[in-house]
């Protein structure tokens, strides 16, 4: 085992590696662009004007800071840890995705790009990107697997209303990974004018670090809010993980606080033991896809296998490389919750707290329902409620055998 680093927050190295993971595994055509992007991002990061503009938008347009809400009935029901929900589902567009998108689209403007493309699974990142592009008057094309177009129809309609072109992707398995392949193919062909707005902490360097930085607003707010409310840091953090951006946003500011236990919850689908799941860290192994080395669902030879989850947003066979590194470092515990567990948790939150969660954070909540009862009453647990469930009502109704 490698010895524990002095800080878990200093990565990646100058080549974009988090230990074994990350990197820049892309076609040569894209390589100069990725280097340009890295340079432009580093400049923007250090520019107070850029940060000021972003902070203004986060506050006045997206509605940040999102509340940190003490879920009293849920806490009593579970009878253990004191549960706080970070209400990122209250952001404009209904999820944490807007945090990252505002940053990237501002950067696209700054770089003089005249077209933005994005991939989307559940449609939350697509909607957020379409929103920011409407705001900044930039043409936007969103690639979405044709399977997801079917199961996330309300979000497809929203993107169209916002002026984006939604391109259904029918190659491969017609889900999120194929949407990402198609976005990269488009990018290679149009790279002089196009900015690729990646929705999660994955892809070639600098995306994993850049998206993380934009999402860290979640964890930074939690630090301030919990200090105000409880006068101390939380004991436990829980978030769901597909690519891992909402989780990284919550976790990263706490990685060096040794007393904070951190748990990431992957989508267990029908159960990790069935092979039909999206739990890359629990059921996969390191490989190279979409520009980075990370844990992947794949067969013996390295062919990528299809992920399975009730939640289109978690239905991805990979995960951000920094999560892979943190797993190997042993800093974060990675567990999984099944489709059925998430469905149960989804209904529980509706009834107890009057909040309809997205299916993605319902996975985090499913784990909270198992974990919280084992913890003492003074254990402060913060769960990231990263999206709201309006988009999922049709899918959930169908699973529950109800007609809308």
Q: For binding to another protein (CB under 8 A), which residues are involved?
A: 15, 23-33, 171-172, 177-178, 181, 184-185, 188-192, 287-291, 293, 296, 298, 300-304
How many angstroms separate the Cα of 142 from the Cα of each of 95, 105, 182?
Answer: 17, 14, 10
Tally DSSP H helices, then E strands, for the chain.
Answer: 16, 14
Nearer to another protein, 284 or 320 (CB): 284
> CB within 8 A of 299, min separation 6: which ones?
305
Nearer to another protein, 119 or 221 (CB): 119
Nearer to another protein, 189 or 227 (CB): 189
Dihedral class, residue 243 (left if φ above 0, else alpha if ψ from -120 to 50, else beta): alpha
Least distance to another protein, CB of residue 288, Å: 5
Give bridge partners of residue 168 from the DSSP assignment.
144
Least distance to another protein, CB of residue 303, Å: 5
Nearer to another protein, 212 or 293 (CB): 293
First to last CA, the chain: 53
Strands 291-296, 21-25: pairing kind: antiparallel
Sign of torsion over alpha carbons 132, 135, 136, 139? positive
Least distance to another protein, CB of residue 291, Å: 7
Q: What is the DSSP letter of 9?
A: S
Least distance to another protein, CB of residue 63, Å: 36
Least distance to another protein, CB of residue 299, Å: 9
Nearer to another protein, 288 or 352 (CB): 288
Least distance to another protein, CB of residue 300, Å: 8
Nearer to another protein, 4 or 170 (CB): 170
- Specify whether the CB–CB gap between 389 and 396 falls below 8 A: yes
Q: Tell me which residue has tokens 């913890």.
A: 375
Least distance to another protein, CB of residue 39, Å: 13
Strands ordered across the beta sheet of 21-25: 17-18, 21-25, 291-296, 285-289
Counting Cα atoms < 13 Å in the Cβ hemisphere of 241 gives: 36
Nearer to another protein, 87 or 308 (CB): 308
Least distance to another protein, CB of residue 34, Å: 9
Least distance to another protein, CB of residue 116, Å: 18
For the residues of 212-268, what is the DSSP string, one character each? HHHHTHHHHHHHHHHHHHHSS--SEEEEEESS-HHHHHHHGGGTT-TT-EEEEEEE-
Phi, psi of 262 (to 5 degrees): -125, 130
Angle between helices 359-371 and 339-353 (to 10 degrees): 90
């Amino acid at each position: 085992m490698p010895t524990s680093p002095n800080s878990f927050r200093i990565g990646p190295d100058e080549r974009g590696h988090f230990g074994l993971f990350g990197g820049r595994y892309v076609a040569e055509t894209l390589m100069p662009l990725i280097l340009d992007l890295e340079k432009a991002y580093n400049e923007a990061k250090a520019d107070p004007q850029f940060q000021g503009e972003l902070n203004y938008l986060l506050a006045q347009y997206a509605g940040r800071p999102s509340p940190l809400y003490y879920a009293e009935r849920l806490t009593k029901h579970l009878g253990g840890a004191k549960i706080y929900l970070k209400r990122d589902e209250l952001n404009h567009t209904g999820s944490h995705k807007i945090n990252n998108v505002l940053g990237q689209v501002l950067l696209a403007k700054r770089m003089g790009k005249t077209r933005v493309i994005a991939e989307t699974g559940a449609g939350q990142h697509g909607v957020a990107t379409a929103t920011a592009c409407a705001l900044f008057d930039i043409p936007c094309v969103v690639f979405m697997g044709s399977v997801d177009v079917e199961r996330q129809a309300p979000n497809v309609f929203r993107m169209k209303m916002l002026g984006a072109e939604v391109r259904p992707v029918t190659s491969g398995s017609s889900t999120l990974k194929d949407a990402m392949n198609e976005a990269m193919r488009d990018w290679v062909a149009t790279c002089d004018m196009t900015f690729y707005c990646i929705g999660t902490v994955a892809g070639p360097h600098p995306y994993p670090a850049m998206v993380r930085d934009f999402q860290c607003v979640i964890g930074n707010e939690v630090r301030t809010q919990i200090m105000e409310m409880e006068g101390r840091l939380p004991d436990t953090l829980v978030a769901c993980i597909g690519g891992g951006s909402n989780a990284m946003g919550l976790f990263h500011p706490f990685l060096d606080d040794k007393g904070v236990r951190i748990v990431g919850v992957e989508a267990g689908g029908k159960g990790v033991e069935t092979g039909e799941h999206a739990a890359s860290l629990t059921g996969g192994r390191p490989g190279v896809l979409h520009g980075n080395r990370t844990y992947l669902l794949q067969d013996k030879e390295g062919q990528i296998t299809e992920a399975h989850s009730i939640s289109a947003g978690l239905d991805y066979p990979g995960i951000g490389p920094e999560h892979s590194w943190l797993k190997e470092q042993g800093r974060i515990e990675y567990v999984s919750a099944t489709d059925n567990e998430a469905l149960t948790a989804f209904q529980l939150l509706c009834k107890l707290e009057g909040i309809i969660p997205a299916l993605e954070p319902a996975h985090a909540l499913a784990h909270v329902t198992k974990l919280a009862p084992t913890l003492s009453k003074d254990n402060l647990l913060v769960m990231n409620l990263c999206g709201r469930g309006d988009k999922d009502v049709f899918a959930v109704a169908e699973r529950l055998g109800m007609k809308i």
